Amino acid sequence: MNRLQNRLDYKSSGVDIDAGNRLVDKIKEFAAKTKRLGVMEQIGGFGALFDLAKLSYKDPILVSGTDGVGTKLKIAIETDQLDTVGIDLVAMCINDILVQGAEPLFFLDYFACNRLKIDRAATIIKGIADGCLMSNCALIGGETAEMPGMYEGDDFDLAGFGVGIVERHNMLPRKESIALGDVVIGLSSSGIHSNGYSLVRKIMKLHSIDWNDRFDEKSTFKDVLMKPTKIYVESLIPVIRKGLIKALCHITGGGLIENIPRILPKKFAVELDGSKWNQPDIFAWLKTAGDVSNEEMLKTFNCGLGMVLIVGAEHSKLVQKMIEENGENSFIVGEVIHRKEKAVIVKNFNLRISQNLTSVNSKKVLPKKRVAVLISGTGTNLKAIIDYVENNSARTTIDLALVISNKSTASGNKFALDAGIPLKVLLKKKTQSREEYDSILNETLGEFNIEIICLAGYMVMLSEEFVTKWLGRMINIHPSILPSFKGIDAYGQALDYGVQYTGCTVHFVVPEMDAGPIIRQGIVEIMPNETHDSLVERGKAVEHKIYAEALELVTSGKVRMSNDTKSIERL
């Protein structure tokens, strides 16, 4: 063994004990400001002590929770904005124990890094103390770990552990008391909070956006993304103590869809109305820029609701009043219903997203054409177009601005309502002429600034004047490979004629029936022993695919009708 020229010590291996001690002195100052009744000792001992006898609880239950901040820390490191991630840490832990009805008592943290930089570490831990102050929770201990080789550069990790207390009779949730018609109240989030940041960072990278790029006129992306997670202790503890809440739900990883079922009896679901709460613009931007489906948004992000309450309808106004008196915004966002399939149903989510798109970074949103879909029956082609727009929100030029139905009982009407698309039911009176009805139709289309009409099983004969007005801006789908089998029951005609292939055609509408320039066609092979019903069903599958694609070609301007109205031009 070779003799070393210099003696080794811990510091030379990357761990500076003196720096750690200097940091502890700073932490003691922060922790002292969080002291509350029951704290016996704070920073410095081997264990932290808390005296429950000092509190006035009669039948207490302790509630604990632990969590971290996730990859939001990566943004904090890259932007050097370290003062609020400690608040995030406390919020993630304390909000979790709050939903059990517990008042927070004390908190411990774990901070691990590659090389200890005292000022950076102090900034982070001061944020933890700030979060504890907001929660009336004492910071009574923790661990600082300097681990060279475990982390790279300025990387660090945070974890926390909180403990609260609740009287046994006030524990939440009270699932057995939840009843049909109970009101769902939502509390505003400050933004994304601390979940979903891996997806956020992927979307940012996809669009080559810097954290300091402008999100809107007032804020950078960093400002918006680093808003600390909201802590709900002050606004909710008074209501919890009054026994007015049946259940609370902290909307974290899993979003609205996966968290709310955790507090519901299996026989119940909740139906939420997405138009009833304010949604920060960042969610509309993420959905659009990332082409994120509604389902994925609702199971990844809080989408504007950081906490959800279930209360009896008779107490809802009082609960809202108490919450708002303590400085928090609340919204009645839905109700408890009998469960059929899904435990969480969210209506009008697209409507809120569309409203918010006008105020987000417009250079990231493609110019869209306002489309009206006209229906009379089942609306399956409408549903296919809705699904296409939802699944391609970052790339589509289709803005589904209106659905018009000529039947109040048409089952397709529900697709529009569920998607949050304005629905107008225009019934044709027996005494009305075709021209009079078309005049009302035109007025409605003008009211919504419609640019493109899409006929989807609209069983009303349109006047030549109306068709001429919308030449090149109105399309239809017909269930055959035009020019074969025009008119009604085209699939039946194909079977009767004995052809081996049929299909569907999307075309511009001209005054002559089924004669407009062809935009797109799909083929369906007629199988041996094919029945009318089976051919219709297989034909619909092709219709549903090509109609949305053809509409996209028109709204994007890639296809237009020629001036002679006999052919199309591809641009």
Own/partner pairs for 425-432, CB < 8 Å, 24+ apart? 428/460
Establish whether 544 is a catalytic residue. no
Confirm if 490 and 481 have CB atoms less than 8 A apart. no
- Partners of residue 404 on adjacent β-strands: 374, 424
Amino acid symbol at 312: G
Residues 45, 31 contacting (CB under 8 angstroms): no
Q: Is 268 helix (H, G, I), strand (E, B) or coil?
A: strand
Alpha carbon separation from 270 to 264, 303, 331, 339 (Å, rounded): 9, 16, 15, 8
- DSSP SS3 for 21: helix
Scan for tokens 């600390």, then name that residue: 228
H or E, element range at 477: strand 474-478
Concatenated DSSP letters of 291-310: T--HHHHHHHS-TTEEEEEE
Rounded CA separation 95/306 (Å) = 9
d(CA 7, CA 242): 65
Please give the Cα distance from 329 to 501 (Å, whole number): 60
Which two three-digit tokens encode residue 303? 């989408």
Token output for 410: 């048409």
Q: Are 325 and 235 in contact (CB under 8 A)?
A: no
Active-site annotation holder among 193, 478, 507, 544: 478
Q: Which two tokens stand for residue 326?
A: 């303590």
Residues shown for the chain: 571
CA dist., res. 326 & res. 135, Å (int): 13
**Cα distance between residue 132 and residue 30, in whole Å:** 10
Q: Let me know: does 226 contact 88? Beta carbons within 8 Å.
A: no
The contacts found for 34-38 with CB under 8 angstroms, 24 or more apart, are 34/129, 34/132, 34/133, 34/137, 34/138, 34/139, 35/138, 36/105, 36/136, 36/137, 36/138, 38/105, 38/106, 38/138
Task: Judge if the upstream peptide bond of residue 173 is cis by omega within 30 degrees of 0.
Answer: yes
Task: Using the Cα atoms of residue 170, residue 171, residue 177 and residue 183 in order, give the sign of their dihedral.
Answer: positive
Query: Which residue(s) pair with 50 in the sheet?
Result: 39
Can you tell me whether residue 346 is helix, strand or coil? strand
* Number of Cβ atoms within 10 Å of the Cβ of 182: 24
Q: What's the half-sphere exposure (Cβ side, CA atoms, 13 Å) at 186?
A: 26
C-alpha span between 216 and 224 (Å, rounded): 10
Indicate the helix (H) or strand (E) that contains 63: strand 60-68
Looking up tokens 């939001």 gives 72
Enumerate the active-site residues. Answer: 478
